Structure 1
Amino acid sequence: MSNENPLVPSSPPEVRFPVAEYLGGRRIDAVVGRELRNHTRFRIHRLVRAGAVLIDGQVADIRQRVYPGQQIRVRLLEPPDKLLRATPSSLEVIYEDRWLVAVNKPAGMIIHPAEVDRADTLVNALQWHLDQTAVAAGLLRPGIVHRLDRDTSGVVVATKDHLSHRRLSIGFQERTIRKTYLAMVEGHPAEDDGTIDTPLGQVTDPESHLVSAADDAINPRPAQTDYSVLEKFDGWSVIEARPLTGRLHQIRVHLASIGHPLLGDPFYGPRGEIRRDRSGTLLIEPPAAPPWPAIDRQALHAHSLSFEHPITGRPLTIESPLAEDLSRLLSDARR
C-alpha cells in the first residue's frame, strides 16, 4: 500500500530560463533574483545552498558566475516570500502571451498600491490574474513599465519577466513606443492638426502635485504632444493626442494650455488656470450652462500602444476599446 498523499505533489514545481546577454558575468543568486522577483535574496540563497539551482544541469555554487546562453533550472523547494496581495478582479485582458499582458484599465483604478495594505489596485488584480496560470502562486510578478492617472481609462501593458521589463522600460525612456490617446475637450481648436511644444513643471505651490505649462513653473522639462481633431460637436471636440514625451499629466495640461481643457477635468482649466487647489477647494467657478456634456472624470482614454515586441522583435499594436462612459457620450452626440 502506498504512503503517498495524492494531495501533495511528488516533486516541487520548477522554472527554466536562459541567461540574458546583459546579465553575463553576474553571480547566480543575482540572476535568479531577476527571474524570481517575488523571492527575497535570503530565500534564493537557501535554494542555491540546497542544491535546487542548476546551471547547464550542474548544481550551482553560491559564488558561481553565469554567462549568456547558459540554461538555469530552479526547483522551487520554497514558495515566494515577497508577495503582493492578489485580488480577484474582472479585468478586461486585451492581449496576452508568455511575456506580456495588456488590460483595459477602468477609470477610478490606481496602478500601484501606495500603502502596504492596499489591495484594490491594478497591480493587485494583475497578480491574481498571473497566479491563475503560474506553477506557483506569486511566481510571476507583474512588471509595470508605464502608468495612467487614476481617472484615465485605457490600455496598460505589464511584463511577466525581467528581460521584457528591461527592454520595454528602455523603449519608453528612448521614446520608441508610440502612444495614442482619445481626448474629449472643451471648444474647437483653431488647427485640426498641431504640435504643442511647451515645457512642463510643477505649479508654484511646492506641496502640490499639479503641473503647469506657465513660465513660472518649477523645474520645467521639455514636453511635446502631437494632436489631430477627429470630430467636432456643439461646443466640444474629440482629439487624438500623441505624446512624444511622458511627463505627468502631459496631455491634460498641454491641451488646457491652448485653451481646450478636457471635459470633466477637475484641476486644469483653459489657458493654464488651476480650477482647484491641492485640498480640492474650488478656485474658479465653472460656466453656469456649458455647451459641452457633463462627465464625472477627465475624458481621456489611452487608446493604443505600438512597439517592437521585447522578445520576438515583431511589430505589435495593442488597442483598447473606448471606455463605456466615453463611448456613451460620443454615441449621444452623434445622434
Structure 2
Amino acid sequence: MSNENPLSASCPPELRFAVAAYLGGRRIDAVVSRELRNHTRFRIHRLVRAGAVRIDGQVADIRQRVYPGQLVSVRLLEPPDKLLRATPATLEVVYEDQWLVAVNKPSGMIIHPAEVDRADTLVNALQWHLDQTAVAVGLLRPGIVHRLDRDTSGVVVATKDHLSHRRLSIGFQERTIRKTYLAVVEGHPAKDDGTIDTPLGQVTDPESHLVSAADDAINPRPARTDYSVIEKFDGWSVIEARPLTGRLHQIRVHFASIGHPLLGDPFYGPHGEIRRDRNGTLLVDPPADPPWPVIDRHALHARSLSFEHPITGHPLTVESPLPEDLSQMLVDARR
C-alpha cells in the first residue's frame, strides 16, 4: 500500500480564474468554494493550508481576502469529495461553450436526483459530459438554473462556472430570459393570440404537489402566459406558449383553466378538473373517443430560450427540435 501523502502528488492539474467583482472582500476559501462546487469547504481548507492556492502568484493564507481582478490559481491535489455520480448517457447537445451547455432533454427524464443514490437524471448525465473535457474529473459541476417537468421535453441550459450560474439565475428571477414552448391542447381557444393572467397556488389538499388556478388555491402567486395559436386541427390546436413567470406546472394549469388542457395530461382536466389524485388514482374517466391524437405524456416541449450571454453579453438563442412523438403527431395530422 502506498504511503504517499495525497497532498504531495506531482504535476496535478491546476485551476486558474480571476476574482469576480461581486466577490471582492471575501475570504479566499469562500471564493474558491464557488469555483470548486464538488469540493467541501473542509477539503478547500486543506488545499489552502497545503500551499496549493495562490493569489497573484503568492501562496494564500486561509484568512486572506481577495479583491476584483486578482488572479487565483489552485493546484488540484485532491479529488472532489462531494462528487455527483457521473452516468454515461447520450445527450443531444444543442449549444456549448466554456461557460454553458444546453441540451435537448427527452421526456421521461428527471432533471435532478431527489435521492442521494439516484444516478439516472439529467444532472448525472451532464456531470459525465463535463468530465470528458475537464482537466480533472469533477472539476466542473453542472449548475441548474431552471427546470422542466419529468415528461416535458426540450431545451435545458446548465452552467459550468459560478459567475454564469449567478447571472443566469438572476435573469430567470428578473424575467429577462424569454422562454418559448410548444403545447398541444384540446379544442380551440377563443382567441388566436391572448394572455392567461391567473394566479396559481397549491390545490386544497396540503399534501398534494398539484397546482390550481381556482379562487381557493393555497398561497396563490401571480402567473402570466402569453400565447399564439399556430395551427388548428379537428378538435385540437397547436400553441406557442410564452410564460412570463415560472410557476410549477404553469402552462399545463393555465390552459386547463380556460378549458383547453394539454393532450395527454394525466392530472389537469378542463376548468380546474383534477383527473388523478396525488397518489395517481384515477378520479375522472378520459373521453371514450376523443377527436385528438392519443399521446402517452403531456404534449409540452420547451422550444427555445433567449437571453444575454452571462459572460460575453452577446444575445443568444438556444433551440431544441421537436421530439419524435410530437413531430410525428403533426406529420400524421397534416396528411
Is TM-score (shorter-chain normalized) higher than 0.5? yes
Deviation at 1:10, TM superposition (A): 4.9
What are the within-5 Å matches in structure 2 for residues 259-274 of structure 1?
259-274=259-274
Work out the CA distance in 2 between the residues paired with 1:41 and 1:286.
Answer: 53
Q: Secondary structure at the match of 1:230?
A: strand
What are the within-5 Å matches in structure 2 for residues 107-186 of structure 1?
107-186=107-186
Deviation at 1:284, TM superposition (A): 1.0
Work out the CA distance in 1 between the residues paired with 2:262 and 2:189.
Answer: 12
Work out the CA distance in 2 between the residues paired with 1:287 and 1:75.
Answer: 63
Q: Secondary structure at the match of 2:268?
A: coil
Work out the CA distance in 1 between the residues paired with 2:161 and 2:226.
Answer: 32
Match of 2:18 in 1: 18
Match of 1:198 in 2: 198
Match of 1:90 in 2: 90
Work out the CA distance in 2 between the residues paired with 1:145 and 1:20.
Answer: 19
Work out the CA distance in 1 between the residues paired with 2:116 and 2:40.
Answer: 17
Match of 2:214 in 1: 214
**2:290 is the counterpart of 1:257:** no
Work out the CA distance in 1 between the residues paired with 2:177 and 2:37.
Answer: 25
Q: Secondary structure at the match of 1:51?
A: coil
TM-score (norm 2): 0.97
Q: When the two structures are aligned, how many residues end up with a matched partner?
A: 327
Deviation at 1:279, TM superposition (A): 1.1
Work out the CA distance in 1 between the residues paired with 2:174 and 2:305.
Answer: 15
Work out the CA distance in 2 between the residues paired with 1:288 and 1:45.
Answer: 64
Match of 2:5 in 1: none
Q: Secondary structure at the match of 1:327?
A: helix
Deviation at 1:79, TM superposition (A): 1.1
Deviation string 1:251-309 (CA, Å, 9 cap, x unpaired) is: 00000101100000000001111001111111111111000000000000000000000
Paired AA for residue 148 in structure 1: L
Match of 1:290 in 2: 290
What are the within-5 Å matches in structure 2 for residues 94-109 of structure 1?
94-109=94-109
Q: Secondary structure at the match of 1:33?
A: helix
Match of 2:225 in 1: 225
Match of 2:316 in 1: 316
Paired AA for residue 207 in structure 2: E
Q: Secondary structure at the match of 1:30?
A: helix
TM-score (norm 1): 0.97
Percent identity, aligned pairs only, is 89
Work out the CA distance in 2 between the residues paired with 1:242 and 1:187.
Answer: 19
Q: Secondary structure at the match of 1:65?
A: coil
Deviation string 1:3-39 (CA, Å, 9 cap, x unpaired) is: xxxxxx8510001000000100000000000000001
Q: Secondary structure at the match of 1:139?
A: coil
Paired AA for residue 98 in structure 2: R
Deviation at 1:222, TM superposition (A): 0.5
Work out the CA distance in 2 between the residues paired with 1:44 and 1:97.
Answer: 27
Q: Secondary structure at the match of 2:316?
A: strand
**2:307 is the counterpart of 1:307:** yes
Work out the CA distance in 2 between the residues paired with 1:10 and 1:82.
Answer: 23
Work out the CA distance in 2 between the residues paired with 1:40 and 1:197.
Answer: 43
Match of 2:3 in 1: none
Aligned-residue Cα RMSD (Å) equals: 0.7
Work out the CA distance in 1 between the residues paired with 2:51 and 2:286.
Answer: 67
Q: Secondary structure at the match of 1:29?
A: helix
Match of 1:5 in 2: none
Work out the CA distance in 2 between the residues paired with 1:78 and 1:152.
Answer: 38
Match of 1:189 in 2: 189
Match of 1:68 in 2: 68
The list of structure 1 runs, each at least 4 consecutive aligned residues, that deviate by more than 3 angstroms after superposition, is none
Where structure 2 has 5 or more consecutive residues not aligned to the other structure, the ranges are 1-8
Q: Secondary structure at the match of 1:239?
A: strand
Match of 2:279 in 1: 279
Work out the CA distance in 1 between the residues paired with 2:277 and 2:61.
Answer: 57
Work out the CA distance in 2 between the residues paired with 1:27 and 1:151.
Answer: 42
Match of 1:38 in 2: 38
Work out the CA distance in 2 between the residues paired with 1:210 and 1:77.
Answer: 47
Where structure 1 has 5 or more consecutive residues not aligned to the other structure, the ranges are 1-8
Q: Secondary structure at the match of 2:163?
A: helix
Work out the CA distance in 2 between the residues paired with 1:120 and 1:108.
Answer: 11
Deviation at 1:168, TM superposition (A): 0.2
Work out the CA distance in 2 between the residues paired with 1:323 and 1:81.
Answer: 37
